[in-house]
Copies of this chain bind each other. A is one copy, B any other.
Amino acid sequence: DNKKINKENIQLPLTSIEKAYISEKTEKYLPKKSFGFRIVGQIFDNYVIVETGDRVFIIDQHAAHERIRYERLKEELNLGLLQNVEIILPIIIDISLEDKKRIEEKREILEKFAFSWEDFGPNRIRLIKVPYEFLNFDPVSIENLFKEIISEINEKDLEVLEDKIIKSLACHGAIRSGDVLIREEMEALIQMIFDNQIPITCPHGRPYIWEIKKEELEKYFHRK
């Protein structure tokens, strides 16, 4: 069946489950289901241009990928599907005594997100496990991610805290602006957006799609 073939084509790095959910809070959605599209190219090393029918989308690659990742991670968390993995070369992180105490208090939540660590001296911890998709990240990136999460750990509302952690994971694992994408990566990104009807803003509320209608161009160029 057609849908299956599309899903199997998705090759974007770091996505283990492709299905993402529609956020009920967001009003605007993309058009229903997968339809044909053509990658035109990338501009300013930051935006993917795609043509579909009589519309062209300029897509903020980081914000779009962040949104895809956010929806997926949220679902994985809800379904208990977040996988962790032991790091082969352990990462040592310098940390204050206060921070150490704080993350210890929230250990249960952080372990839900597949982080695990052990003491490594008075001002240090050693990360043992991280979410599966960060396995191949360099140690500095993982350290930065974990430090960002530590900085948010004081949040009292557990639901808000979880959402903040999901956002951090979504952002840190996403394609960055400035990444030059090859055609296959652009195709995978756009396919996921079109397949999954994800909201058209990033998790922080920034829009990631600029739409240009054929009609607009025709009007501007006096073709109609």
Contacts and interface: CB of A to CB of B under 8 A. Distances in A.
B220 A207 contact: yes
A43 B54 CA distance: 10
* Chain A interface residue number, banded: 20 to 34
Nearest to A56: B43
A222 B210 contact: no
Contacts of A223: 60, 177, 206
A139 interface: no
- Name, among A44, A177, A208, A214, the residue most crowded by chain B CB atoms within 10 Å (CB to CB): A44
Nearest to A53: B44
Copies per complex of this chain: 2
Contact of A41 (B44, B49, B208, B214): B49
A63 B221 contact: yes
Given A41-B49, A44-B56, 20 more contacts: A40-B41, A40-B42, A40-B43, A43-B49, A44-B51, A44-B54, A44-B214, A44-B217, A46-B217, A47-B217, A49-B49, A58-B217, A60-B221, A206-B221, A206-B222, A206-B223, A207-B221, A208-B221, A210-B220, A210-B221
14 contacts: A40-B40, A40-B41, A43-B49, A43-B51, A44-B54, A44-B214, A47-B217, A49-B49, A58-B212, A58-B217, A60-B223, A63-B221, A207-B220, A210-B220
